[in-house]
Structure formats: C-alpha cells, structure tokens
Amino acid sequence: MNTTILQPRARRMLLTVVAGLLAAGSAVASGGGALADHANVDVGNVASLQRGARNFVNYCMGCHSAQYVRYNRLAQDLGISEQQLIDNLMFAAQKPTETMTIAMRPADAVRWFGVAPPDLSLIARNRGADYIYNFLRGFYLDPTRPSGVNNLMLPNAAMPHVLAGLQGTHEAVFAEEGESGATHTVFREFRQVTAGQLSPEEYDQFVRDTVAFLAYIGEPMQLERQRLGLMVLAFLLVFGILSYLLKKEIWKDVR
C-alpha cells in the first residue's frame, strides 16, 4: 500500500494500530511462553477418555456445559454401558438422549465470576490442547485477586482454582529481566505451598485425561475418521495390487 496518499492524521492512526497489534502480539507470546509444556493427549486411548469424562462431570460441569455433546453418543464412543452412564456421568440429566447442559444461569454466573464460564464443547479446537493443559496447571496464589488465585496462561482469569484440592497450592516466583528502565517480569518457577491429594505426576495425568476428553468432544468424529482412514488405505493397497496383477494378465497376450 502506498502510505503517501494517507493524510498525516490517518498515518498516525495506522501506526498506532500497528504498534498496538505488535504489543498485543508480544504480550500473548510472553504469556504463552510462561508454561509451554505439551499435553501429549491420546484421543485413541479410550481409558484416558473415560477418566477424562468422569473428571469433567465431577469437576467442571458445576460451571461449564458441553451443550453439543449428547450423553448416549458419549457412551457409545467411549464403550460405556447405559447403566454405567446413568450411575457415573449423568448427574445433570434425566435421559441419555439429553445434551451436557448445566443448571447455572449465565446471568448468575456473571454476577458471581464477572464472566460467564464458556461452553467447553469446542474449547480444545479454539484454544488447543496444550493451552488448556497449561491453563489447568497454571494457577498460583495471588491475594490481590477476588478468587485468591491468578493464572499464568490467562492473567486475571475469573476461574477459581477448582482443582486446588487435588493439586495443592503454589506460589509463583517472578524475576525482573532486561536493562534498567526497560525491564519486564518473567515467570521463574512454582513453589508448593500446600500439598494436594495427588502427586505432581498424578495431577498432570488427571489434567491430561481431562484435556483428552475435551479434545475428543471438540471433534467426536475424529475417532471414527481415523478408523475409517486406515480401512480406506488398506482397501487402496489391496485394490492396487489386484489392478496391477490384472493389468499384467491382460497385457500378457497383447504383444
């Protein structure tokens, strides 16, 4: 674009917008850099998905719905019988054909938290599995926040640390970096304050299962797509060999 055709005022505005975008970009990058662990979820692991479903129903559905997910579809995909479904997962529904909605009204949620907890049906596609994995491992004590905690991945998050009983609580250690006058705060490490019911490894696995479940509900077809993909490849291979043999057979006599 030829900027000389812009009026000085417009050019200043454009520069401000560009500078703002760059600043926002680096803020996001440094926020994302605070914890950059990989979730390593395996949506093909049905046992992990089953544990994740149990975690989600028990620890997340107090506030978050998954309104595009139907209980009976879940049971079918995760190899759960109807009785197991009713006994272990359907606390918020009467019939297996219902979707995973919750009773909390958005208006009440806004009054309590300031923000309504988002529906989590598509969150893994929206944010990515690694982000959610680090988000659920990124809570630290911060007395200046109404909930008493802050989050490395989502600064000033409105979500309380609902898994503190399992993980325990942490303080975050920050350090100042850079030249004088142009320093910025960087995250150094977590220090455990109180212990939780789970060891750090068990907690990571708990979060990994939960994120695997969110990745699965974000695209329930993916399990079937992978199975189907392998079958298509196997078919193509067999068909390819057959056609080759057939071609040889036909051309044998045409010489």
The residue type found at 160 is P
| Cα 160–chain centre separation | 17
Q: Binder to ligand HEC among 132, 149, 152, 217 (CB under 6 A)?
A: 132
Whether 162 contacts 61, CB under 8 Å: no
Closer residue to ligand HEC in complex, CB, 111/227? 111
Angstrom distances, CA of residue 87 to CA of 60, 94, 154, 156:
18, 11, 35, 37
Q: Binder to ligand HEC among 154, 166, 198, 223 (CB under 6 A)?
A: 154
| 62 lies in the site for ligand HEC, by CB under 6 A | yes
At its nearest, how many Å lie between ligand HEC and the CB of residue 125? 12
The rounded distance, in Å, linking the Cα atoms of 59 and 207 is 11
| 158 lies in the site for ligand HEC, by CB under 6 A | yes
| 64 lies in the site for ligand HEC, by CB under 6 A | yes
Q: Binder to ligand HEC among 39, 51, 100, 135 (CB under 6 A)?
A: 135
Stretch 192-211: interaction string toward ligand HEC, x if CB under 6 A: ------------------x-
Total residues belonging to the chain: 255
The rounded distance, in Å, linking the Cα atoms of 111 and 38 is 34
Residue in this structure with the two tokens 């309104």, named with its chain if needed: 67
At its nearest, how many Å lie between ligand HEC and the CB of residue 191? 23
| 160 lies in the site for ligand HEC, by CB under 6 A | yes
Q: Binder to ligand HEC among 118, 128, 196, 200 (CB under 6 A)?
A: 118
At its nearest, how many Å lie between ligand HEC and the CB of residue 214? 7
| Cα 128–chain centre separation | 5
At its nearest, how many Å lie between ligand HEC and the CB of residue 211? 8
Angstrom distances, CA of residue 73 to CA of 21, 139, 181, 220:
42, 33, 57, 9
Q: Binder to ligand HEC among 162, 164, 166, 223 (CB under 6 A)?
A: 162
Angle at 36 between CA 31 and CA 41, to 5 degrees: 130
| Cα 130–chain centre separation | 7
| 57 lies in the site for ligand HEC, by CB under 6 A | no
Give the interface with ligand HEC as residue ranges (CB under 6 A).
Answer: 59-60, 62-64, 113, 115, 117-118, 123, 127, 132, 135-136, 154, 157-160, 162-163, 210
